Structure formats: structure tokens, C-alpha cells
Amino acid sequence: MDKLLVIRQPIIGELDLLNKTLTETLHTNSPLMNEVINTYLESKGKQIRPILVLLCARLFGPVPRTAIDAAASLELLHNASLIHDDVVDESQKRRGLPTINHLYDNRIAVLTGDYFVSCALDCSVRTNQMAIISSLGTLGRELARGEIDQLSNARNHRLDEGAYFEVIRRKTASLFYACMQLGALAAGACKADVERLSLFGEKLGLCFQIKDDIFDYYEDKVIGKPTGNDLREGKITLPLIYAITHGSGAENEAMRALLFSEEHLSAEHVYTLIEYAKREGGIEYAYETMKRIRNEAVALLEGFPPSETVDALISILDYTIEREK
């Protein structure tokens, strides 16, 4: 069976209710805002993050209404961050479709992102659980801090695997951590289960970002963004970090010099660095790292009895590593 079907199967009804909640929450009397929202929702993606919230709650029994509102709040906050990221990165495409800032302008995009944040707050209040509201507040801070740290690392030319993981923990893994935390809190799970499942989410998020970073070393036909985009923006990711820090000799010195020779790398220099990372085993190392983290995540689910929900969570892990976009 297709992995996405396995993933959705345990919460198919709740997913329909989630999308209904999102549509109702975002609706406004402004024709322009509704136009922008409808355009954006056409590219809403696979909704892996709210699915995680619902699956986590499902581990403990029927999914409560609180989990639906928590999932909606998280999805809105996540999408707000993407809309704002597209403005910061001057991106023209997301998920293979034009971004709001490209279709309209930066002003409309920023205001739309702000509107999504406000709607996320509204959904969080509906849960009537301070722990859930607090989790979402922490998430917002972590997402912003992760982006700032990434910019700082780029400016300071940091070639540090530890710094890389701290950035992706904040900018990506914190979101997956929150998904599982929200689902467990909404279901009334004990503290130990909340912590264990949250850590599962964090490890899933690390795998997700590493795979995203690997995409940047290949052609853009499937993923809808240009090869080397991260390097052009000064973001040094795991494959190149490994190649530079574990390599030696004249070529390695040349790559280090090239990497820090100019503020904005040319297309030719980006290509040279990408090919070096591939030759030096950077891609293989990234995949090995994902596999190790994946196994650590699966081990965190061992205390739960076998079920289609547990199978779905493991399928998300495998889908994350195997996906082609």
C-alpha cells in the first residue's frame, strides 16, 4: 500500500474535520484576503505536520476535538512561517507553485502571514489548555531563532556539524517536536509519554531537514527549486560540512578558500562545491546519519502496542527519508 495512504488511514475522518476547521477559521469578509488564502490553500501540501498531531492523539484512543484545534493552530503557524520565509528568501516557488510574494507582492505576503498567525492564536485558545498554548508559543520562538542562527552561521562562516544540528533542531525539528507534543497533550498522555513522543517528533524533523538539504545537491525537476539554492544563500548544509571538515590535501584547502572567497557564490563555484561534496562522500554520510536517527526514533515507539497508528508513524519516518520532493 502507498505510504501516504498508510499514514492517513487511522485518522482519515479527523483529517477532513481539520481541513473544514482551517477553511472556516481563515474565512474573512475581505475579497482580496480570501483570494490570497484560496490561492495558498491550493498548494497546502501533504499536511504531514497536522497529521502527526492527530496520529499522536490517536495512539491513546479516539481523537478529541482539542487535538483538531491544536493541529489547526500548528498548521496555520507553520504556513505563516513559510509565507514569511518566502519573503526573506525572495523565493518565487514553493511546492512547485508560485509563492504569494511572487504572485502579489511582499506587502500582501507579510500581511497574509500575519493573518495566519492571528488565526493560529484563535485556534490555540479554543483548546482551553495552557500547556498547548505554551507549546505553540515556544514553537514560534524556536522557528524564528533557528532562521536567525542560520543567517548568523552563514555570515560567520561556521563549518560546524554541531552548529548545523542546532540550527535544524530549531528551524525544523522543533515543529515536529511540537506536533507530537500537542497530540499527546490533547490526548491527556502522562508526562513520560509526552516527552518520549516529542523526542520522536524531533528526530523525525531532523531526518526531514537533512533530506531537504540533500535535495539541494541535485537537479530541480522534481523538487521545484534550483540546485545549490542553499549555498547561494550562504547556508552550508551537512553533506558539504562533512566533506570540508573530513577532507584533506590541496583540493580541500582550495574548497575552503572558495567557500569563503566571496559573499555571493557564482553558479560555477556552487557547482564546484556540490561536486566536491558528492565526491568526498557527503551525500552518503547524510543518508547514514538519517538512518541512525530514524532507528533511534523507532526505538521510542517500542513501548506502545502494535497498531495501525504506530505503523503510520513509522511510515512517516520512512517516507521522509525515501521521498523525492
Rounded CA gap, 74 and 78, in Å?
Answer: 6
Q: Which grid coordinates belong to 279?
A: 565526491
Which residue from 243, 85, 202, 41 is spatially nearest to 33, judged by alpha carbons?
A: 41
* pLDDT of amino acid 300: 97
* pLDDT of amino acid 39: 85
Rounded CA gap, 179 and 187, in Å?
Answer: 13
Q: Which residues contact 118 (CB under 8 A, 6 or more apart)?
A: none
**Which burial class, exposed, middle or buried, applies to 136 when counting CB atoms under 10 A from its CB (0-12, 13-18, 19+)?**
buried
The number of CA neighbours under 13 Å toward the Cβ of 81 is: 22
Residue 300: give the domain boundaries: 3-322
Cβ 55 vs Cβ 313: under 8 Å: yes
Rounded CA gap, 171 and 125, in Å?
Answer: 24
Count of the separate structural domains present in the chain: 1
How long is the chain? 325
Rounded CA gap, 112 and 118, in Å?
Answer: 10
**CATH value at residue 86:** 1.10.600.10
DSSP 3-state percent helix, strand, coil across the chain (nearest 5): 75, 0, 25
pLDDT in tens, the chain (325 residues): 577 888 998 999 999 999 999 999 999 999 999 999 988 887 777 899 999 999 999 999 999 999 999 999 999 999 998 899 888 888 888 877 888 899 898 999 999 999 999 999 999 999 999 999 999 999 989 988 888 888 777 767 677 899 999 999 998 999 999 999 999 999 999 999 999 999 999 999 999 999 999 999 987 665 555 578 888 888 899 999 999 999 889 999 999 988 887 767 888 899 999 999 999 999 999 999 999 999 999 999 998 999 999 999 999 999 999 988 7
* pLDDT of amino acid 133: 95
* pLDDT of amino acid 230: 85
